[in-house]
Amino acid sequence: MTTLTLVAHALTPGLRGLVLGGEPAPDQASLETARDLKITADLAYSGPEPAAILTAEAVGLQPVVLGALRDREYGEWTGRDLEDLLATETDAVSAWLERPHTAPPGGETANDLIARVADWLGDLTTDADHAVRRTVVAVVHPAVVRAAVLYALEAPAESLRHVDVRPLARVTLSAHATSWSLNLH
């Protein structure tokens, strides 16, 4: 059985200011808080963003960095403040927020994000010897945590914006053959 703990990376200026995408470094105070987390694993992964890598290292992990665990792609909206976008591109942003099959210009839909994360979760169960217990940790952007939770719950992509994942939040999933369950503790 595989147990996966997803850890949302440390707070960044972008998360604080509702800026879409980009790769800002995490806040030092948030990294210091991450150092207090007690996490061990047989395997450790992280998204490619500096905040994910530095958070994993602060926790004491030496992660394998995977592009599949990257934040959602925001295309032309990367680096833009959501409030500003709502004021200047109201219809496009409203459609993007309300319909999971709608992408920002040049970006990724919610469905695309969930499918990418689901593929990675599938790879984890395919690679696992189900008779052996193993623990896996992945330090990722909060959007990736939300996508994994929706996939495990078989919830619709419209629910993505209703799952709040704070910096350094932890979610545990367990694999039983090829399906995932959410573990609350």
What one-character-per-residue DSSP string does 97-161 give?
HH-TT---TTS--HHHHHHHHHHHHHHHHHHS-TTS-EEEEEEE-HHHHHHHHHHHHT--GGGGG
Q: Reply yes or no on whether the pLDDT at 125 is more than 90.
A: no
SS3 call for 94: helix
SS3 call for 56: helix
Q: Provide mean pLDDT across the span 9-31.
A: 92
Tens digit of each residue's pLDDT (9 = 90 or more) over 137-165: 999 999 999 999 999 999 999 998 899 99
Q: Reply yes or no on whether the pLDDT at 96 is more than 90.
A: yes
Q: Reply yes or no on whether the pLDDT at 65 is more than 80.
A: yes
CB 161 within 8 A of CB 97: yes
If 0-12 CB within 10 Å is exposed, 13-18 middle and 19+ buried, where does residue 50 land? Answer: middle
Ramachandran region, residue 52 (left: φ > 0; alpha: ψ -120 to 50; beta: rest)? alpha
Cα gap 4→172, rounded to integer Å = 6
What is the reported pLDDT for 131?
59
Specify the DSSP class assigned to residue 46.
E
Q: Reply yes or no on whether the pLDDT at 109 is more than 90.
A: yes
Class of domain 2-183: alpha beta
Tokens of 28: 């030092």
Cα gap 130→33, rounded to integer Å = 34
Q: In what order do the strands lie in the sheet with 43-46?
A: 64-65, 43-46, 134-140, 2-8, 170-176, 179-183
CA 50 to chain centre: 14
Q: Reply yes or no on whether the pLDDT at 185 is more than 80.
A: no
